């Protein structure tokens, strides 16, 4: 079983959080930290959608390129993108060049602006901060009833590339659930 592992610094982490220096920083400083603003959630939603089928490490290493390409993930600016912007982004090697995902990021910006109450308020309705600590990676689900419901609500409101697994990854990344393993030094750190 893949339980929390001691790093060279003496801190126990989720095993994936020790596999590369980029992962250590992401695990310790960001993953699971509550994100409560619309722009922050929109950024994470876009990145999770771009990650689909790829390594998260690829996305982390291209993150600054994504931020530059998508106007800092400002939903108002991205919502104004048109076909010319999509073509520009298709030629941008600093990001993942997938037309469907780029078009989804633009559509999701528009949907986020139209979402009653906003993206953050909508997502946080599905938070499950009291979920028991998983003992091992094998105990972490790919999706939950909450992520299914969140994905369904987002799709109903015009979002794309937001299935239950992507919605759950968003929930994990943004602190709506705490899936740091039992024994991990970040478990419960943001409660």
Catalytic machinery residues: 26, 48, 56
- Would the annotation count 27 as a binding residue? yes
- Would the annotation count 14 as a binding residue? yes
Nearest by Cα to 73 from 40, 98, 31: 40
- Would the annotation count 46 as a binding residue? no
For residue 87, how many other CB atoms are within 10 A of its CB? Answer: 11
Its sign, for the CA torsion 16, 22, 27, 28, is: positive
CA dist 179 and 191 (Å) reads 12
- Would the annotation count 184 as a binding residue? yes
Ordered alpha helix ranges (H), the chain: 21-29, 38-51, 56-61, 63-69, 75-79, 83-90, 99-114, 119-124, 145-156, 164-173
Binding residues: 14, 27, 180, 184
Q: Which residues are annotated as a binding site for Zn(2+)?
A: 14, 27, 180, 184
């Amino acid at each position: 079983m893949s339980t929390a592992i001691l790093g060279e610094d003496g801190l126990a982490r989720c095993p994936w959080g020790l596999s590369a220096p980029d992962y250590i920083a992401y695990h310790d400083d960001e993953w699971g930290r509550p994100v409560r603003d619309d722009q922050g959630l929109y950024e994470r939603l876009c990145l999770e959608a771009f990650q689909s089928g790829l390594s998260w490490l690829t996305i982390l290493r291209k993150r600054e390129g994504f931020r530059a390409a998508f106007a800092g993930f400002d939903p108002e600016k991205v919502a104004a993108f048109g076909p010319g912007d999509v073509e520009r982004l298709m030629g941008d090697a600093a990001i993942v060049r997938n037309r469907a995902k780029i078009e989804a990021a633009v559509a999701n910006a528009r949907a986020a602006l139209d979402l009653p109450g906003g993206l953050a308020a909508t997502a946080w309705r599905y938070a499950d901060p009291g979920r028991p600590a998983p003992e091992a990676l094998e105990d972490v689900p790919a999706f939950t009833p909450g992520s299914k419901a969140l994905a369904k609500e987002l799709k109903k409101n015009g979002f794309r590339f937001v299935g239950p697994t992507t919605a759950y990854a968003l929930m994990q990344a943004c602190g709506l659930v705490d899936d740091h393993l039992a024994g991990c030094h970040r478990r419960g750190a943001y409660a």
